[in-house]
Structure 1
Amino acid sequence: MYSLHVKSALIKSPYWKKLSEVNRHRNTIWSFYRNDPWNVLDFVAFTLWIVGFITRFIVRDHAFEVSKICMSIDLCLWYMRCLHVFLASERLGPKLLMIFHTMKDLMSFLFFILIFLSAYAITTYSLITTSSFVIWTNSTYFTTVQNGGNLTNIEILRNIIEWGTWKIFGSTSLTTSDSVEIKYTAKNDAYGFVTLILTIAFLVVAYVLLLNNLIALFNFTIQRVHGESHRTWCYHFYVVLKEYEEKDMFVPPLNLCLWPISYYMRKRLHDSTKKRNNTFIAHDNYDVKHIRKQQQRIAEKYWKEKQISKDGSIHQRPYVCRQCKCRGTEADYIESTFL
């Protein structure tokens, strides 16, 4: 009973309300950060780099393999991170958004493709390798070869994946690729005949049905993104410019070392601008402020329409990011388009 009174007193206290507001605000910021795919890409890239950097100093062959693989994947992710700059381009920005949306559609189809791929690859590979596992001397006596020719589990898994993956892209060869150490083929026997029938069925399902449905879904997604390309590009253009405007010129920790130099340069620039003509300065400031207001209205309109289309209600206040400094639903729907 005493604990209930203490709990109720804590809940009614102003400090508890402030803590709850801080916690709610922190969850909102974390949700916004997590929903941005570029932030997720940065987190994965930094994690791989830290793992690769630490394991590089461990003098073991397996640790060196982990370090090399992590560094290689991390380099690939940082190359992909450079695509963020192209969002500000009116021509390339919508194309990049089309790629992102089609990748989301592909992820939903990978579940079905993996099911058919696993069913076909494991079944047919077990059939064409039977002669290497079991050797019949006559109709009643046989001998078994251990592990199918001394293959490790990793090699068997790699051979199964490679055997089934190329069939998705239309390969009709019933012989394993030359990259494996021991080649297998579908012979002219019962195992080979069943493998041929299963290969035809898998090609019809995967190559004809699934891939064509995926292409049709891509076409619908591209048309939908193309219809909203200009409005979406205006928003991303504003966000990219705002982000690069607020960031420092130098990356951490160099920004701390070079801060006195940048402070001195800003001070000299500020002193030199006072000697200019006030007419031109006022005109330039007016143009910059006018462009900023236009970009801010476009960003507010984009987030409002996106929230309305998601929730189906105009009375619900949309969540607006702090990054673009929008101020809720006060912007008008009828705004001039930023050119």
Structure 2
Amino acid sequence: MERGPLQWLYRQYKIPFMKVFLNVLSLFALLTAYAYMLLFDFAKGISNTDVFLIAWMTSFFIEETKQVFVAVKRQRKKQYITDPWNILDWLSMITYICGMLMKLEDTNDYFTASKVLLVAAFIMFSIRILHMFSMSELLGPKLVIIQKMFNDTIAFMAIMFVISMCYNISYYAILYSENSEFTFEQLEKITRNGYWMLFGELNLEGDRLTEPECTFNQTEYREGSKERCPSSLGRFLAPYLKAVYVLIAVILLLNLLIAMYSNTFAEVHEKSKFYWSQLQTDFLEEFSLKSIFPVHMQLIAIPFFVIHAFVWLVRSLPRCRTVKCCDASVHAKDDSTILHHAPYTHEDDIKKFNKIPMFVRAYMS
């Protein structure tokens, strides 16, 4: 790699932009194979597509493990742990591993849970592509806007949760006089009413049903053959409670959220250059430490690194003996020559770096 056209290839590829470009291509290849597995090749056991995905995930795990060692060595453990993209990487890998382990089981319950976990991992890997857009001056500031809007959404959902919980419990308790069965399906029915109303699903006729369109028989409405009839008090009070909820949640709080989004967009858009420069600096620092080999080629490259390291160690043994003999003669000279050395410069760092074996520079830089 230090001679001929390979030297030019190494110097071109070690640029962070080229690392980003090839990692984006490898990530798209992963998602294509992942989508094919979920849609057309999802079966019990390990298929050929699963072998490719497992090899890619192993390479991805090696890359993330290397980042952990680099962060510890540079004393930046806190920055690594608090980075949301690193958290997403480890969470997606753990989810994928759990999904694949459940896929190996023969029972249908484990097989269904496996597909749910693998779909969740696919969603997280798809979101991971957004991190690559930080390099773009056009898309980078948009990611900052989305991140800050997401923080606004979390603050909004804390208020919305209290209002929605208050409405759902009150509405359901007034609408039906008899006790409800404590099941997951029943809890889902209680909470979905207020949630879907935020998106315009008012269901105005649901609280005004009367027999024979509905029934008071618990067996019939629990089986799902007919809707449950509301009580007379529920038919009278529930519409007014729903109107108050729409006024507070839909009209007031949603417009407040839109105003928060508009304010965040105006602030970030005004300083978009600054935010993008800061985002790009962190992004380039991360990819300057990545291997020159794409994530999906880590397993292919590791055997060559091991062979190169072994050859380098074998060749360096005679050299080390010569250096020790030379050191004895050097220390015998006058120490006054050391005091007249030139000051330490950046060129000394370059020379020191060039003495490092090629397999270290290729894999660790």
TM-score by length of 2: 0.54
Partner of 2:82: 35
Establish whether residue 191 from structure 1 lines up as the match of residue 234 from structure 2. yes
Shift of 1:258: 5.1
Is residue 2:241 matched to residue 1:241? no
Question: Which residue in 1 is equivalent to 2:301?
Answer: 255
Which residue pairs with 2:202 in the alignment?
172
Give the distance between the partners of 2:235 and 2:259, measured in 1 at CA. 34
- Root mean square deviation, CA, Å: 3.1
Shift of 1:255: 3.2
Give 1:202's aligned amino acid: Y
Q: Residue 201 of structure 2 aligns to a residue in which SS? A: coil
Structure 1 residue 59: deviation in Å?
2.4
Could you tell me whether the CA contact under 8 Å between 2:152 and 2:260 is conserved in 1?
Answer: yes
Q: Deviations over 1:293-321 (max 9, x none)?
A: xxxxxxxxxxxxxxxxxxxxxxxxxxxxx
The aligned counterpart of 1:120 is 167
Q: Could you say if the C-alpha distance between residues 214 and 183 of structure 1 is closer, same or farther in structure 2, counting changes exceeding 3 Å?
A: farther
Hey, what's the Cα distance between the residues in 2 that align with 1:129 and 1:234? 58
Partner of 1:53 in structure 2? 100
1:85 aligns with 2:132: yes
Give 1:38 shift. 0.7
How far did residue 90 of structure 1 move?
A: 0.8
Residue type matched to 2:104 in 1? F
Q: How many residues align?
A: 221
Deviation at 1:197, TM superposition (A): 0.9
Aligned-residue offset at 1:120: 1.2
Whether 2:301 is the aligned partner of 1:230: answer no
- Aligned partner of 1:202 in structure 2 is 245
Q: Distance in 1 between matches of 2:285 and 2:265?
A: 27
Is 1:128–1:184's contact at 8 Å kept on the other side of the alignment? Answer: no
Amino acid at match of 1:61: N
Q: How does 1:1-339 map to 2 (within 5 A)?
A: 29-130=76-177, 133=178, 153-175=183-205, 181=224, 184=227, 189-248=232-291, 249-251=293-295, 252-257=298-303, 259=305
User: Which digits, 9 at most, give the CA deviation of each residue in 1:45-81, with x for residues without a partner?
Assistant: 1121121122222223332232221111110010000
The offset of 1:181, in angstroms, is 3.7
Distance 1:122 1:27 in 2: 52
Say if 2:95 and 2:117, in contact at 8 Å, map to a contact too: yes
Q: Which amino acid aligns with 1:204?
A: L
1:163 partner letter: N
**Aligned 8 A contact 2:167 2:194 in 1:** yes
Relative distance call for 1:101 and 1:233 in structure 2 (3 A) is: same
Aligned equivalents of 1:97 and 1:168: distance in 2?
Answer: 26
1:8 maps to which residue?
A: none
**Is there any run of 5+ residues in structure 1 with no aligned partner, and where?**
1-24, 135-146, 264-288, 290-339
Cα distance, 1:116 vs. partner? 1.2
Q: Once the 2 structures are TM-superposed, how far is the Cα of residue 166 of structure 1 from its aligned partner?
A: 1.0
Q: Relative contact order (alpha carbons < 8 A, sep ≥ 6): 1 or 2 greater?
A: 2
User: Which 4+ residue blocks in structure 1 deviate beyond 6 angstroms?
Assistant: 260-263
Would the alpha carbon gap of residues 129 and 239 (structure 1) be closer, same or farther in structure 2, given more than 3 Å must change? same
Name the amino acid aligned to 1:209.
L
Residue by residue over 1:3-33, the C-alpha shift from the partner in whole angstroms, topping out at 9 and shown as x without a partner, is xxxxxxxxxxxxxxxxxxxxxx789522111
- How far does residue 241 in structure 1 lie from its aligned partner after superposition? 3.5
Tell me, which stretches of 5 or more residues in structure 2 are unaligned? 1-71, 208-222, 310-345, 347-365
Return the letter of the residue paired with 2:294: F
Greater share of helix = 2
